[in-house]
Every structure is written in C-alpha cells, then in structure tokens.
Chains A and B, each alone.
Chain A
C-alpha cells in the first residue's frame, strides 16, 4: 500500500492524493471560517450584552465611557464612525437596520456625542467675542458640565469633548483642536496660529499675562517682533489689554469663563 507507485498507475494515484489534499484543505478552511465566525458572533453578542448592560453607566460615567471608547478603538470599532453610515447600513439590509452601534445603544451613544457637540458649538459661539474663538478644552468641559439652565449639566470628560469636536469635522465646521504648550484648545475660527503667536500664548498660560519687555527678556526677541505678535493676538481678540500698570500687560481671557457672560 505504502510503496512508491511506479508506472502509469502512479499518475492516477498522485491526482487522487492532490484531490484529497485539496478537499481536506477546504474542509479545514471551512471549519476555521466557521469557528472564526462563531468567535466573531460570540464576541459581537458579548460586546452587545456588555454595551446594553452598561449602557446607563456608559452614558453617565465619563471615565467608564472613555475606557469603553478606548476599547472600541483598539479593536477597530468606532462608535462615531458607525453613526455616519447609519442611513446606508439601514438600507443595505442584513435584516437588522441601523448600524451596529445604533442597534446596541439605541442611538443613545451617538445622540450623546451630538448633544455634547451642540453644547460645545453653543459655548464657542457665545464666548467668541470674549476669547477670539479660542477656548481651553478644560474650561469648555467645566462649562458643559455646569450647563446653562439648572439640571442641564452634562457629566463629560475631556475625551468626550475632543470626540465631540472631532465628530464635527465632517461638517466642515472649522472647529479644530489646537495644542498650545501642554494645553488643548478648541479653535472655532478657522485661522492658523503662527509659531510666535503660539509661543506667546504658551507664556501667558504659564505666567498669566505678558508684556513686550517680558517677551524681549525671556525669548530674546526684538522689540518689534514682540510688539507685532502681541498686536496680532490683540487684533484677533485672543488677548485683552490692561493699560493701567506701568507697562501694558496682555492677559488671556481663558479664565473669564466662570461668569454667566
């Protein structure tokens, strides 16, 4: 049986062997596929159960939500990206309708971020006169948390704010996240900060205010350069002028936000 085939019969033998290998391979592949599919569906249903079970926590607890979103990111599921194809998916069938995420969270997850986004947009618009369209993510979070009317506060983390701002990007709204020093800001007026301006804002962040001579001393800038940068910032409404000291001082309006405005 096991002896090496010789002669013409061997050809037939070999074809047979190849065929059986092929069929065996196909068998293996399909079992693999089946088991993978089972795994995936188990995983999906687990995620589903998890999300359902904890949906109230996801909605109410910012830290938990951030972790959940991070987990989804790691496994390549973006709750917000899913929301963008909501309509298409619904029509495509699968007999289910709506995206995976809208099914799981009943649309709440998306609605949550949209609501945050709306608050952020409102806040940016309300304070644009005061801060020239630049608002710290942290300040923004505090304000959204407080809410305008009693009971309208939203418990949000910075991660939620950032996510909400990013969800606005497809709208071409001009809202973007800017890094200045160690802080993150939401820029609601589409205008670039140049390096010098960013540097000055960073200094203000640390010291509370700046003056031309402070910039000259600390950054070794020419007077004209310091003055130009400050004048630009002033023209954009990003700093406020205090002319009652011995030298003109320029302050950032970021900490003004606690008021009703």
Chain B
C-alpha cells in the first residue's frame, strides 16, 4: 500500500498512504460540489501528512506532480499541475471562505527549477506559524531557556535540538511521551518558516528578534 519511491528521503520509515490514495476517482476533480469538498479535504490532509513525514516546508508543485504524492504509479493515476494547484489554492483559503483553513500559503516570486510563474511553490503548514510558535514556547519552557539569547541557527541546527530531534525518533516509536513528541520538531526547519513562527511570537510580545538577516538572534520572554 505504501509506495516507497525515491523521494526527498529524510525519513526512515516509508510514508503510509491513506486508503483514499488507492481510490482511482481521488485523482479526478469531482463534478459534484459536495463530493469535491470532501475530496479537497482529503487531499489537504494527505498533503499535510506527506509534507510532515518528509519534513517538507515548501512544496514545489512542478517537482511534486511527478512524486508519489501526486502520482500513483500503481494505479497510473495522477493529479496534474493545474489540479494540484487548485488543491493547494483551496488549502490557502480560510475555512469561512469554504477553503482548507489556511494550511498552505503561496510563496510569491519563488523560483522552482527556473520556473518563476506565480503559484508554483507554497508553504505547507502542517503546523500553522501560530502552532509552531506554541511548539517553540513549549520547548523553551521545558528546557528552561526563558530569557536566554539564542541564535536562529541554534534553534534550527543546534545540538540541543538535534538531541531532541533524535529522541523524537525513538519516542515516536514507543509513543512514550506525547509532549516530547513535538518538542523539537522544528529541528532542521526551513529558516524562513522559523522566522514566520518567531514573528508570531514577536507580535504576541513573547519574544524579540534582533540582528542582521541570516544571523538573527532571538530572546524569549
């Protein structure tokens, strides 16, 4: 059931596709609007769990349409670029607007393989920046680092989060501690995504960010 193809394989275990993935009509936009809505929800949750599994923060649609995410080789069904774009577009909208609750965000002017067309790369927010902010605050609390100045590089690449990151793997295996589970999930996080999360904290008055671009430091209150 799980297709283990060559993907950005940072994860040790293959991604387990939901049963929807093996349902042929899943890859055809449904003409019935109610059914379509249900289909979009399923796509959104699949894309999120896929990105989460592969620790993908920005999804380039041009690249992704040929990956197992959008291409089920066994069924010989695929979501083409335009349809993948429609799904992600739906994800970017708020729930009140009948969208997917802002689980994605287009990255303006992002180049993907020389393609600078709009709506080709998107943030996939399997955690929204606000949710990442909560994760960060939790981690700071648990590790007792309030008032400590950290660099963003440390947060993302630092040893403290590495060890957390490793224990994360063993802990998700044994599901011992649900809390520690997401503590250093941000290790190896996309730098810009991290900045977005930090900016949420800045707005909340929970942190301040200083320094030049690329060498930012951050202090949590």
Contact = CB atoms under 8 A, between A and B. Distances in A.
Interface of A: 128-130, 132, 209, 234-237, 240-245, 249-251, 253, 255-256, 258-261
B170 interface: no
Q: How large is the interface on B (under 10, 10 to 19, 20 to 34, 35 or more residues)?
A: 20 to 34
Nearest to A248: B28
Nearest to A258: B19
B42 A261 contact: yes
Interface stretch (B30-38, B51-59, B62-70, B121-129): B30-38
A242 B42 CA distance: 16
Interface of B: 18-20, 23-28, 30-32, 34-35, 37-39, 41-42, 45, 76-78
Contacts of B20: 256, 259
> Counting chain B CB atoms within 10 Å of each CB, which of A235, A244, A245, A249 scores highest?
A244
Instruction: Name which of A128, A240, A243, A250 has the most chain B CB atoms within 10 A of its CB.
Output: A240
Contacts, number: 66
Given A241-B28, A256-B19, 18 more contacts: A129-B38, A129-B41, A132-B34, A234-B32, A240-B23, A240-B26, A241-B31, A242-B27, A243-B28, A244-B28, A244-B78, A249-B24, A250-B25, A256-B23, A258-B18, A259-B18, A259-B19, A260-B45
Majority DSSP secondary structure for residues of A touching B = mixed
B31 A259 contact: no
Given A132-B35, A241-B30, A244-B77, A251 B25 contact: yes
A130 B45 contact: no
A259 B24 CA distance: 15
A140 to B, nearest CB: 16
Contacts of A258: 18-19
Contacts of B32: 234-237
Contacts of A253: 23, 35
B77 A129 contact: no
A129 B35 contact: yes
19 contacts: A130-B35, A234-B31, A235-B32, A240-B35, A242-B24, A242-B27, A244-B24, A244-B77, A244-B78, A251-B23, A251-B24, A253-B35, A255-B19, A255-B23, A256-B19, A258-B18, A259-B19, A260-B45, A261-B42
Q: Which of B24, B25, B28, B37 has the most CB of A within 10 A?
A: B25
Nearest to A209: B24
